[in-house]
């Protein structure tokens, strides 16, 4: 089987190594001047698509991202990793924090109508909202099978075998194409964007769109009421010997 066309989604998020600060109005986190990068799970998604293309299972990779103008950088990174062309669905800066999974799934379902891919790969969840919903919503809207939390994907005639990471361990399923899958961290080790590829990526096409043009209403259905830091962890106590340890445990009612 060869010549599949894949649509991969990626999201521009605050870099996972950055120390997050809550905004003074407690309605979100500070994003101004903060380093952003591609959502780590989306890197796995792109990497998987590129590997499938290297194995000649896939013939074209289209990468799409919904977000402000800077999302183009994220798309460029995906192009540098090996995607063929990009689609940027632009939303005004500042409103992107309210772009929720339901809206994104609707946008992607319109993109699927337009691009007619055989497979959609998304990251399992975004590290800013940790929603883990878009893949499932999209599969529902398209009435396509879904393989979520994928840690191994292999293709054979008209179907995919997927190993899923679940609470009890691993689950193997088979889905027929077309399908939607979501990438987990252990799916692969994403490649670095090499500089020659970064330069080549500048020449690849990125198509611009808006939710309006796609006929999608992105009004948020959920309202963020409050964002706070987790409570400060109390320091532990160091004890000099076992006797003291036992005493302290008794004091605190643990023994």
Partner 1 sequence: MIPVRQCLKLAPLCCQIRHGSRMFPQLKRGSFNRITDEDVNLFAGIVGQNGIKTEELDHYNTDWLNTVSGFTELVVSPKSVEEVAAVLRHCNGRRLAVVPQGGNTGLVGGSNPVFDEIVLSLERLNNISHIDPYAGIVECEAGVILQNLSDKVGEHGYTVPLDLGARGSCFIGGNLATHAGGLRVVRYGQLRGSVLGMRVVLPDGQILDGRSNMRKDNTGYDIKQLFIGSEGTLGVITDVSLLLPQTPVSVNMALFGCDSFDDVIKCYRLSRQCLGEIVSACEFMDSLCMTSVNDILGLASPLEDSHPFYYLVETSGMNMDHDMEKLETCIEKVFESGCATDGVMATSKDQARHMMSLRENIAPALKAVGFNYKYDVSLPIQHMYSLVEKIRNKMRKTEGAFSVGYGHLGDNNLHLNIITPQYCTQALSLIEPFVYEEVSRLKGSISAEHGMGLKKANYLRYSKDPSMIAMMRSLKDVFDPNGIMNPYKLLPWND
15 binds partner 1 (CB under 8 A): yes
**Taking contact as CB under 8 A, which single stretch among the options 111-119, 140-148, 149-157, 196-204 is the one that binds partner 1?**
196-204
- Extract the tokens encoding 15: 């870099």
Rg over CA atoms, the chain? 21
Binding to partner 1, residues 63-82 (CB under 8 A): 77
Least separation in angstroms between CB 92 and partner 1 = 19
18 binds partner 1 (CB under 8 A): yes
Least separation in angstroms between CB 14 and partner 1 = 10
**Taking contact as CB under 8 A, which single stretch among the options 14-22, 144-152, 168-176, 215-223 is the one that binds partner 1?**
14-22
The rounded distance, in Å, linking the Cα atoms of 29 and 197 is: 33
Looking at beta carbons only, is 80 or 99 nearer to partner 1? 80
Q: Tell me if 21 sits within 8 A of 33, measured CB to CB.
A: no
Residues β-bridged to residue 156: 159
**Taking contact as CB under 8 A, which single stretch among the options 21-29, 170-178, 187-195, 208-216 is the one that binds partner 1?**
187-195
Binder among 195, 232, 235, 242 for partner 1 (CB under 8 A): 195
Q: Tell me if 50 sits within 8 A of 83, measured CB to CB.
A: yes
233 binds partner 1 (CB under 8 A): no
193 binds partner 1 (CB under 8 A): yes
Binder among 199, 227, 246, 249 for partner 1 (CB under 8 A): 199
The rounded distance, in Å, linking the Cα atoms of 9 and 122 is: 5
The DSSP H or E segment spanning 5 is strand 4-9
Task: Find, among 6, 7, 12, 134, the residue nearest to 72 by Cα.
Answer: 12
| 102-130 per-residue burial string, b: 16 or more CB within 10 A, e: under 16 | bbbbbbbbbbbeebebbbbbbbbbbbbbe
- The binding site for partner 1 (CB under 8 A) comprises 15-18, 33, 35, 37-38, 40, 77, 189, 192-196, 198-199
């Amino acid at each position: 089987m060869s010549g599949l066309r894949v649509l991969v989604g990626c999201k521009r998020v605050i870099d996972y190594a950055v120390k997050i600060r809550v905004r003074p109005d407690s309605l979100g986190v500070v994003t101004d001047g903060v380093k952003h990068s591609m959502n780590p799970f989306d890197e796995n998604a792109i990497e998987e698509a590129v590997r499938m293309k290297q194995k000649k299972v896939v013939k074209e990779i289209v990468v799409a991202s919904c977000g402000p103008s800077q999302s183009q950088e994220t798309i460029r990174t995906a192009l540098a990793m090996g995607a063929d062309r990009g689609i940027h669905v632009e939303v005004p800066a500042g409103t992107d924090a309210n772009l929720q999974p339901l809206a994104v799934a609707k946008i992607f379902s319109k993109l699927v109508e337009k691009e007619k891919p055989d497979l959609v790969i998304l990251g399992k969840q975004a590290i800013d909202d940790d929603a883990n919903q878009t893949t499932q919503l999209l599969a529902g809207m398209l009435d396509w099978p879904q393989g979520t939390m994928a840690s191994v994907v292999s293709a054979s005639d008209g179907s995919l075998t997927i190993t899923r990471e679940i609470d009890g361990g691993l689950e193997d399923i088979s889905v027929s194409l077309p399908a939607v899958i979501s990438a987990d961290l252990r799916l692969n080790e994403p490649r670095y964007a090499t500089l020659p590829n970064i330069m080549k990526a500048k020449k690849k096409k990125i198509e611009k769109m808006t939710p309006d043009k796609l006929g999608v209403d992105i009004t948020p259905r959920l309202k963020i009421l409050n964002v706070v830091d987790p409570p400060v962890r109390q320091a532990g106590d160091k004890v000099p010997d076992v006797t003291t340890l036992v005493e302290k445990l008794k004091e605190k009612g643990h023994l």
